[in-house]
């Protein structure tokens, strides 16, 4: 494994470890809220099979909605859920980010773009 490959693997490991810790903090009620909020993004007929947070996050990763370098959408969802604990966990995991700016502007352009794409495709 090259140094670059090792570095990517370590970043992926940190991300996966963080996501595993995050899933432990999300309640069944939170999961239902997330699924409801993500209804326009989740393929039809798939929502029922997403019965755990891990399955939901895996689905979002496959859609490139969430990933090691892409947690802003998740932060937007947690903020819309009014869950400061989950937002704080994300902020701690993403050091050096100017989260105040993201919080002030409301729905991110990226999240808005996802919804626009979905609306056009239906």
Q: What is the CATH number of the domain that holds 17?
A: 1.10.533.10
| Contacts with 23 (C-beta within 8 Å, 6 or more apart), sequence order | 52, 53, 54, 57
Please give the full DSSP string across 51-113, using - where no structure is assigned: -SHHHHHHHHHHTTSSBTTB-HHHHHHHHHTT-HHHHHHHHHHSTT--HHHHHHT-S-HHHHH
Per-residue pLDDT reduced to its tens digit, 68-93: 989 999 999 999 999 999 999 998 99
pTM, two decimals, is 0.75
Per the CB < 8 A criterion, the answer to whether 64 and 70 are in contact is yes
For the beta carbon of residue 55, count every other beta carbon within 10 angstroms.
14
Residue 105's pLDDT band (boundaries 50, 70, 90)?
very low
Per-residue pLDDT reduced to its tens digit, 10-42: 889 999 999 999 999 999 999 999 999 999 999
Residue 61's pLDDT band (boundaries 50, 70, 90)?
very high
Structurally, the chain folds into a number of domains equal to 1
The predicted pLDDT at position 99 comes to 45
Instruction: Tell me the residue range of the domain where 60 lies.
Output: 3-121
């Amino acid at each position: 494994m090259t140094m670059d490959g090792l570095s990517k693997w370590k970043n992926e490991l940190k991300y996966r470890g963080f996501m595993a810790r995050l899933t432990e903090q999300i309640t069944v009620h939170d999961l239902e809220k997330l699924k409801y909020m993500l209804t326009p993004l989740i393929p039809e007929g798939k929502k029922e099979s997403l019965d755990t947070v891990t399955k939901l996050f895996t689905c979002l990763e496959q859609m490139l909605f969430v990933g090691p370098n892409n947690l802003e959408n998740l932060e937007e969802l947690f903020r819309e859920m009014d869950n400061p604990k989950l937002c704080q966990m994300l902020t701690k995991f993403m050091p050096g980010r100017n989260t105040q700016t993201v919080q002030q502007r409301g729905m991110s352009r990226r999240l808005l773009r996802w919804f626009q794409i979905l609306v056009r495709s239906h």
